[in-house]
Amino acid sequence: MLHLTFRQLNVFEAVARHLSFSRAAEALHLTQPAVSMQIKQLESNIGLPLFEQLGKKIFLTEAGHELYHYSRAIAQQLAEAEAVLGDLKGLKRGSLKISVASTANYFAPQLLAIFSQRFHNVTVSLNVTNRQSLLQQLASNEMDMAIMGQPPDGLDLASESFMDNPLVVIAPLNHPLVRERAIPLQRLQHETFLVREQGSGTRSAMERFFAQRGIDLTTGMEMSSNEAIKQAVQAGLGLGIVSVHTVALELEMKRLALLDVESFPIMRHWYVVHRANKRLSAVAQAFKSFLLDEAPQLLARTG
């Protein structure tokens, strides 16, 4: 096994390129004795002479020619590695793996598009999943960070809120309550609600909100997506409680209506979350700062 150092290879490459100890020393800002010592140590480690001197000129031996080929390749790869790492520091390139709760997918692509326009050499991977799967991914450290509702206690996570997430009551346009204002919470006990699956952040927040106020809701079908709930509400199968971020299009197209219920909206927040001990890359740190500093204003502008 060869025992040599990058310093020895660097010195050798300079001597082989100039075929001169003195010019190599000048190029490397070293003394000539220092260059000679590095070459002697390298030859000793390899066990073969790398240069031969004929008269006042030096020439590469066969071993020297072979090593020169590899030393140039290694020097090029080191220069490339230095450039890549420099680019990462300067956010010129890199990758970002983001997982988002399914509800957050209504706005996350807009934010990622703006971020990608600023850092166009950054490769972004977006995974959309439910809360349970997202927590499993965080536990196994599969992504750089996640966008989700309130993270659970007891996990070794770092989380920061970056945007409000109001939960609202939606109804079909022809529902009698659409015309009423300041609807008492007790009035909702007479309605059927279409709900997300157990473990959903929206479902948990909704159940906690009504339990704290002593309200018993009648739940109908359980659904695994906001799209299914919106379509079922539109079809007249019941009322729904969803994030306001999920119904912008339906409200604009007048396919659904928001009910004016007292104590609503239920105010939750969106969080950017990652493992507490995770060393974020420059790209991941830039995206986190982007969310914390700009997300609400950007979405208000594009919404």
Judge whether residue 107 has pLDDT over 60: yes
Pairing mode, if any, of strands 94-101 and 145-148?
parallel
pTM (two decimals)? 0.69
Going from the C-alpha of 225 to that of each of 57, 58, 221, the distances in angstroms are: 79, 76, 12
* CA gap 21, 185 in Å, rounded: 89
Cis peptide before 265 (omega within 30 of 0): yes
Nearest CA among 270, 277, 279 for reference residue 299: 270
Cα(28)–Cα(50) distance, integer angstroms: 19
pLDDT (mean) for 1-11:
87
Q: Mean per-residue pLDDT for 164-174?
A: 95
In the chain the domains, ranked by start, together with CATH numbers, are 6-89 (1.10.10.10), 94-163+269-302 (3.40.190.10), 166-268 (3.40.190.10)
State the pLDDT at residue 86: 67
In the structure, what pLDDT confidence band is assigned to residue 298 with cuts at 50, 70 and 90? confident
What is the pLDDT at residue 302? Answer: 57
Average pLDDT of the residues in 186-198: 91
Is residue 140 over pLDDT 90? no
Q: Summarize pLDDT for 36-51 with one digit per residue, the tens.
A: 999 999 999 999 999 9
pLDDT (mean) for 211-217: 91
Burial of 104 (0-12, 13-18, 19+ CB in 10 A): buried
What are the CA-CA distances from residue 272 to residues 99, 140, 155, 200, 280 (Å)? Answer: 10, 17, 15, 17, 13
- What confidence category does residue 26 fall into, taking pLDDT thresholds of 50, 70 and 90? very high
Tell me the mean pLDDT in the region 106-132: 90
H helical segments located in the chain: 6-18, 21-28, 32-46, 62-89, 108-118, 131-139, 201-212, 226-234, 248-252, 282-302
Contact 78, 6 (CB under 8 A): yes
Residue 279: predicted pLDDT = 83
How many beta carbons lie within 10 A of that of residue 54, not counting itself? 7
pLDDT value of residue 303: 55
Confidence of residue 260 (pLDDT cuts 50, 70, 90): very high
